[in-house]
Amino acid sequence: MDHTNSLSSITYIDTERSIEAGEMKLVHLEYHLHLYEDTLVAPTAKYHLANVWDMSYKSFSEEANLLYLHTHRGVITYKVYEDPGQFVTTFKKLKNSNY
């Protein structure tokens, strides 16, 4: 999908844990969520906006937030370091023209 047409995007962090030589290793990987007029695209999933009922976020430390997608399949959580306020506002404007 052409990301230049996205209305908004945000970077999220995924943490992979592994054991190497008896030692736990943590690797933080950055991915992007892209919001389009009718879909929300992540590297591992694509959500039609009709199936995303709401979006919210909550700060859980001084440096990170949890972004929640409320979908027809439950709540999906993404860890983001930047303020997701603009991303959430853009989504809500798409879902509700009176927002």
The enclosing domain of 68 has a CATH number of: 2.30.29.30
Q: How many domains does one find in the chain?
A: 1
Q: Are 67 and 87 in contact (CB under 8 A)?
A: yes
The pTM (predicted TM-score) of the whole model is 0.84
Q: In this prediction, what percent of the chain has a pLDDT beyond 90?
A: 81
DSSP-derived secondary structure for 13-68: EEEEEEEETTEEEEEEEEEEEEE-SSEEEETTEEEEGGGEEEEEEEE-SSS-EEEE
Mean pLDDT of the chain: 91
Integer Cα distance of 87 and 28 in angstroms: 22
* pLDDT tens per residue, range 1-12: 566 789 999 999
Residue range of the domain that includes 68: 3-95
